[in-house]
């Protein structure tokens, strides 16, 4: 087994209902671990860890058929129900409005890391309670590069646990409003520096249609534009797809130097641009690595000063 390409993700599997100006997608496959894995699998094999209930209407084996996603970490809990989320987007479609949410299996104990996944070197902890993210990390032997996502409710209500997590991870991926909230600082460049001082050696701040910035503990900075999109059918999963492209590229290359982080973020933004082009996973499943590389070249051309 290749030492470098062991990439583990843990996060949600969701039954999503999404409404946008382009239409409605009911009870479709969603969730952070699903978007992440689909995106990362263009670059690296993925080890999948997550839980569903007996009610899950889709078969994840079929969803990931032909893709390098190892579902050994998928727990089907017969007594539980799958996480459900319903949301809508309007206007500039920068932010989802949650219409309904049923945590179900996500409110239970997190899935157990299978023995064969415990040596994973690259790890992505999708957004969930920081205590659960820490518990998951404790199940792993010496990972090399751990990235985590978080969100406003954990920053607001679980800050001590989140700060403990930040001391154990290498990279925090979060959006601009979350970064401002966590750093208590409106200027994003300063906010990025303040997040670094909380623990991670790398911070990636996502700004939606306005791209992203990376800052590291050596003070290096990278500013990346998003691929401009005229058609945004469904932004759900954009952030997790970005993280998937980002971590997938790093794991596939077995590198975490700043040049690799920059290219990884560029792949992340390109993969996310496919995600938002259609509902649910359709934008991702109809693309391939060649399309992704072509769009990366296009992004370079569009942004070259």
Q: Interface with a copy of itself by CB under 8 A: which residues? A: 91-93, 180, 186-190, 193, 207, 209-211, 213, 221-226, 228-230, 232, 262-263, 266, 296, 299-300, 302-305
Of the pair 187, 257, the CB lying nearest a copy of itself is at: 187
Of the pair 64, 267, the CB lying nearest a copy of itself is at: 267
Contact 298, 267 (CB under 8 A): no
Of the pair 93, 196, the CB lying nearest a copy of itself is at: 93
Minimum CB distance to a copy of itself, residue 265 (Å): 8
Contact 16, 28 (CB under 8 A): yes
Of the pair 226, 272, the CB lying nearest a copy of itself is at: 226
Residues in the chain: 305
Cα separation of 120 and 9, whole Å?
A: 10
Cα separation of 6 and 70, whole Å?
A: 11
Q: Over 8-68, what HEC string results?
A: EEECCCEEEEEEECCEEEEEEEECHHHHHHHHHCCCCCEEEEEEEECCCCCCHHHHCCCCC
Of the pair 4, 22, the CB lying nearest a copy of itself is at: 22
Q: Read off the DSSP letter of residue 305.
A: -
Of the pair 132, 181, the CB lying nearest a copy of itself is at: 181
Minimum CB distance to a copy of itself, residue 226 (Å): 8
Cα separation of 15 and 6, whole Å?
A: 27
Which helix H or strand E contains 206, and what residues bound it? Answer: strand 202-206
Minimum CB distance to a copy of itself, residue 288 (Å): 20
Minimum CB distance to a copy of itself, residue 279 (Å): 17
Cα–Cα distances (Å) from 6 to 143, 149, 283, in that order, read 10, 19, 25
Q: Read off the DSSP letter of residue 165.
A: H
Of the pair 46, 265, the CB lying nearest a copy of itself is at: 265
Minimum CB distance to a copy of itself, residue 281 (Å): 22
Minimum CB distance to a copy of itself, residue 263 (Å): 7
Minimum CB distance to a copy of itself, residue 183 (Å): 12
Token pair of 111 as six digits:
């899935």
């Amino acid at each position: 087994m290749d030492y470098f390409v062991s990439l583990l993700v843990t996060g949600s599997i969701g039954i999503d209902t999404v409404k946008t100006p382009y239409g409605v997608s009911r009870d479709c496959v969603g969730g952070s671990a699903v978007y992440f894995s689909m995106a990362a699998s263009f670059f690296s094999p993925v080890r999948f860890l997550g839980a569903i209930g007996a009610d899950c209407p889709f078969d994840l084996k079929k969803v990931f058929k032909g893709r390098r996603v190892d579902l050994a970490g998928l727990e089907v809990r017969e007594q539980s129900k799958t996480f459900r989320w319903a949301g809508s987007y309007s206007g500039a479609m920068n932010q989802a409005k949650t219409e309904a949410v049923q945590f179900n299996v996500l409110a239970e104990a997190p899935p157990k890391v299978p023995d064969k996944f415990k040596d994973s070197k690259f790890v992505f902890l999708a957004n969930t309670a920081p205590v659960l993210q820490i518990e998951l990390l404790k199940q792993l032997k010496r990972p090399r590069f751990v990235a985590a996502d978080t969100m406003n409710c954990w920053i607001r209500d679980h800050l001590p646990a989140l700060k403990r997590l930040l001391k154990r991870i290498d990279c925090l991926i979060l959006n601009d409003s979350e970064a401002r909230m966590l750093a208590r600082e409106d200027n994003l460049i300063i906010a990025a520096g303040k997040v670094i001082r909380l623990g991670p050696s790398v911070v990636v701040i996502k700004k939606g249609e306005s791209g992203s910035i990376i800052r590291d503990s050596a003070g290096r900075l990278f500013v990346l534009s998003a691929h401009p999109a005229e058609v945004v059918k469904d932004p759900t999963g954009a952030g997790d797809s970005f993280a998937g492209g980002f971590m997938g590229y790093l794991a596939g290359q077995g590198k975490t130097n700043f040049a690799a982080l920059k290219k990884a973020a560029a792949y992340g933004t390109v993969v996310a641009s496919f995600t938002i082009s259609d509902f649910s996973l359709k934008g991702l499943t109809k693309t391939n690595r060649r399309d992704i590389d072509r769009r990366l070249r296009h992004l370079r051309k569009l942004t070259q000063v």
